[in-house]
Amino acid sequence: MRCVILTMIVAIVLFVGVFCSAVLAAETGDLRIIYKPGIQIYLDDQVVGITAEQDGGLLVNGLIPGIYKVRGGNTEFGVSIEPGKATEIKVGQDGAPMVLIPAGEFQMGSNSNLDREKPIHTVYLDAFYMDKYEVTNAQYKKFMDATGRKAPKYWNDPNLNAPDHPVVGVSWYDAAAYAEWAGKRLPTETEWEKAARGGLDSKKYSWGNEAVADNANRNGMGGKDWWEYTAPVGSFAPNGYGLYDMAGNALEWCEDWSNEDYYSNSPRQNPQGPSWGTDRVLRGGSWLSTVGYIRCASRFNCNPMAPFNSFGFRCVAQAQK
């Protein structure tokens, strides 16, 4: 009898232990950071480990959900930890945090607006990383200091040149040169749209179908948009992939040449855009855009030499298969 009771007690203890572990796992989150090897990483000023010599990776398990400050090497940024979710952040050579966009299919384009956005079509993309934020003036200054590249056209405009605002007035060639210096590249138009949608394939905007002033820095002021010109990057809520300012603030240069009919015959898997053209693609709308032009499907194009005061960019990097 005593053996039976002991067996039951052991079984109950094991069950409770497993149950509590499962509950704890569901209530905490994990963070994987990929950076240069041998970098000591801090979370909220507490050392959590050193990135591996083999792949630069560091896994931190069992984090209480919330916002953490990540610091190490030449980077510092905030990251949101959600319960039961593993968050992966890659840090680029320029110190910019990058979010993993998972491989898979999505619905690109729109059948409800301009002809150049038609037709809606299914595209498969391999996984890639995208800069969490638009490239800032502070980041671009490091690039200029390192390479001697000429300052953008509006570099001395006090309305546009705050360190934490997106750099604007850059040509496509400026953006591509920065990306190469940082060990990255500009996104394809397809990568940009998938990332902007944040997993919401059928929605107009990166947050849903309603044009809400609280969600983007666009033409006019209202709600949480109290900036007449550019806003500090990350001033509005991120989309489903954790990317900021995929609508408004600065139009973002893409790698592709522009062709309004490209959707009708583009490859189903990892399209790279037309093989030639005269203009390059821009996406996302800007602080000058009305609500119709900050939709995920909105397409823009311009001469790659053009350095307008609404043109900025962010970078991507391929994920390992």
Domain membership flag for residue 85: yes
The answer on 56 and 119 residing in a single domain is no
Give the model's pLDDT for residue 79: 86
How much is the pLDDT for 26?
A: 64
Whether residues 41 and 169 share a domain: the answer is no
Helices first, then strands: H and E counts in the chain: 4, 16
Q: pLDDT at residue 138 above 50?
A: yes
- What is the domain-level CATH number for residue 137? 3.90.1580.10
- Looking up residue 44, the CATH number of its domain turns out to be 2.60.40.2070
Please report whether residue 11 resides in a domain: no
70 phi-psi bin (left φ>0, alpha ψ -120 to 50, beta other): beta
**pLDDT tens-digit series, residues 170-220:** 999 999 999 999 999 999 999 999 999 999 988 999 999 988 878 999 998
Domain presence at residue 185: yes
Average pLDDT of 59-67?
89
- 209, part of any domain: yes
pLDDT at site 2? 52
Amino acid at 231: A
pLDDT at 257: 98
Tokens of 25: 């796992």
Distance (Å, whole) CA 32 – CA 89: 6
Q: pLDDT-based confidence at 296, cuts 50/70/90?
A: very high
Q: What is the pLDDT of residues 230-262, one digit of tens each?
A: 999 999 999 999 999 999 999 999 999 999 999
| Dihedral of the alpha carbons of 96, 252, 186, 106, in degrees to the nearest 10 | 100
Q: Residue 320: what pLDDT?
A: 82
Segment among 78-92, 244-258, 291-305 with least mean pLDDT:
78-92
Q: For residue 153, what are its two tokens?
A: 């056209």
* β-bridge pairing 311-312 and 280-283: unpaired
**136-154 average pLDDT score:** 97
24-39 confidence digits (pLDDT tens): 446 999 998 988 898 8
CA distance 266 to 86: 33
Total number of domains in the chain = 2
- Same-domain pairing of 42 and 155: no
Same domain flag for 136 and 47: no
Same domain, 174 and 305: yes
Would you say residue 22 lies in a domain? no
Question: Would you give the DSSP letter of residue 317?
Answer: E
> Is 176 part of any domain?
yes
What is the average pLDDT across 61-86? 86
**6-10, 66-70, 91-95, 110-114, range with the lowest pLDDT:** 6-10
Last residue of a domain, one of 41, 64, 91: 91
What's the mean pLDDT when you consider all of the chain? 90
Q: Tell me, yes or no, whether 39 and 129 share the same domain.
A: no
Same domain, 62 and 201: no
Q: What is the extent of the structural domain holding 43?
A: 28-91
Note whether 281 and 314 are same-domain residues.
Answer: yes
**Alpha-carbon span 21 to 303, nearest angstrom:** 57
Is 130 within a domain? yes
0.85 exceeded by pTM? yes
Q: Are residues 133 and 247 in the same domain?
A: yes
- Same domain assignment for residues 293 and 224: yes
- Same domain as 117, residue 82: no
Any domain includes 61: yes
Of these ranges, 18-27, 156-165, 220-229, the one predicted with the greatest mean pLDDT is: 156-165
Among 39, 64, 91, residue at a domain's last position: 91
Note whether 76 and 220 are same-domain residues: no
Domain edge (last residue) among 41, 71, 91: 91
